[in-house]
């Protein structure tokens, strides 16, 4: 199991996840058939778009997805045409797909929901030995491993009621102004009754920088044959893209922590795993450059 440390948001704050979901999957997901659990529809659509832009076959399912479309997505998932299915709380129970990786891109304090989600990846399947869990939400650190969640007695709800009574109350909802015509809409009305404008919900999930750290389960070390194959594929990529000499050696060091000293191999076309890893490093670099640019612009504006 793989997870990361972060901070748990208060119930009505913007949910926070740590590390970029797509680049992390490209780096650690091993191209496995994957279910991704998002916070809400806007967040899920954003993740779907990011996966598609990275060249990953992706599907989207929510409570409004009809049965025929859901079946078509499942069949494409089973064929391997779709590698990742992003969903909003609908693939937690009654799903017996061959899932070998889970992405927790939404936090939860519910043990039951947590166990149900992880259970999608713990179902057995021919040739399946394990399941990679990419936890961007710190749910594992907050609730523990699902194999350690046991209760000697059933709860009568007393603890839950006491917990709810201690939470702060939601703020009283107020009428909202239409951003198009400035008409004040009644409480709970989404589409403006004056001009017909219906605001489109945007993603309100904050992503913090970070790297996922290995938390449990076996973490196999690469043998020399695997390292030689990686270096051969990186050399092929360096030549194909006409990168500066030494690019492949630097990438090899980034991957394995050592230089390929004395390693002599012939370039070989990269496989999916190596291509995905290269994409993950490129996405991380681009996003780092974008953040640096924004910080520089903010500093210049402040000055």
- Taking only the tens place, the pLDDT of each residue in 152-174 is 666 555 655 655 555 555 566 77
Containing H/E element for 42?
helix 41-53
Is residue 178 predicted with pLDDT exceeding 90?
no
Question: Which letter, b or e, does each residue of 16-48 get, where b requires 16 or more Cβ atoms within 10 Å of its Cβ?
Answer: bbbbbbbbbbbbbbebbbbbbbbbbebbbbbbb
Which residue's structure tokens are 């990529």?
A: 237
C-alpha 103/C-alpha 199 separation (Å) is: 29
Mean pLDDT of 98-114: 93
pLDDT tens digits for range 246-303: 999 999 999 988 999 999 999 999 999 899 999 988 888 888 888 888 888 888 887 6
Class of the 2-150+204-214 domain? alpha beta
Is residue 8 predicted with pLDDT exceeding 50?
no
pLDDT tens digits for range 125-149: 999 999 999 999 888 888 888 888 8
Q: What is the dihedral of CA 210, 216, 220, 222, to 10 degrees?
A: 10
Task: Report domain extents, the chain.
Answer: 2-150+204-214, 224-302
Is residue 215 predicted with pLDDT exceeding 90?
no
Binned at pLDDT 50, 70 and 90, residue 3 comes out as: very low
Average pLDDT over all residues of the chain: 83
pLDDT value of position 154: 60
């Amino acid at each position: 199991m793989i997870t990361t440390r972060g901070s748990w948001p208060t119930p009505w704050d913007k949910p926070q996840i740590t590390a970029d979901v797509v680049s992390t999957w490209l780096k650690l997901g091993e191209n496995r058939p994957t279910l991704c659990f998002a916070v809400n529809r806007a967040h899920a659509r954003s993740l779907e778009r990011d996966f598609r832009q990275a060249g990953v076959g992706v599907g989207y399912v929510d409570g409004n997805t009809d049965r025929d479309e859901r079946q078509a997505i499942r069949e494409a998932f089973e064929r391997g045409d779709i590698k990742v299915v992003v969903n909003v709380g609908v693939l937690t129970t009654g799903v017996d797909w061959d899932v070998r990786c889970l992405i927790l891109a939404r936090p939860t304090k519910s043990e039951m929901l947590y166990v149900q989600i992880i259970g999608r990846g713990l179902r057995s399947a021919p040739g399946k030995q394990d399941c990679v869990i990419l936890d961007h939400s710190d749910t594992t650190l907050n609730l523990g491993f699902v194999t350690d969640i046991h209760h000697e007695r059933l709860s009568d709800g007393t603890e839950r009621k006491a917990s709810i009574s201690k939470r702060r109350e939601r703020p009283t909802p107020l009428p909202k102004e239409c951003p198009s015509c400035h008409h004040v809409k009644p409480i709970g009305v989404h589409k403006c009754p004056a001009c017909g404008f219906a605001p489109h919900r945007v993603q309100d999930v904050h992503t913090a920088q970070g790297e996922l750290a290995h938390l449990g389960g076996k973490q196999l070390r690469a043998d020399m044959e695997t390292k030689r194959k990686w270096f051969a594929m990186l050399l092929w990529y360096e030549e194909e893209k006409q990168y500066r000499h030494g690019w492949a050696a630097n990438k090899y060091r980034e991957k394995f922590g050592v230089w390929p000293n004395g390693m002599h191999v012939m370039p070989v076309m990269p496989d999916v795993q190596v291509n995905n890893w290269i994409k993950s490093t490129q996405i991380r670099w681009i996003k780092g450059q974008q953040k640096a640019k924004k910080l520089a612009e903010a500093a210049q504006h402040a000055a």
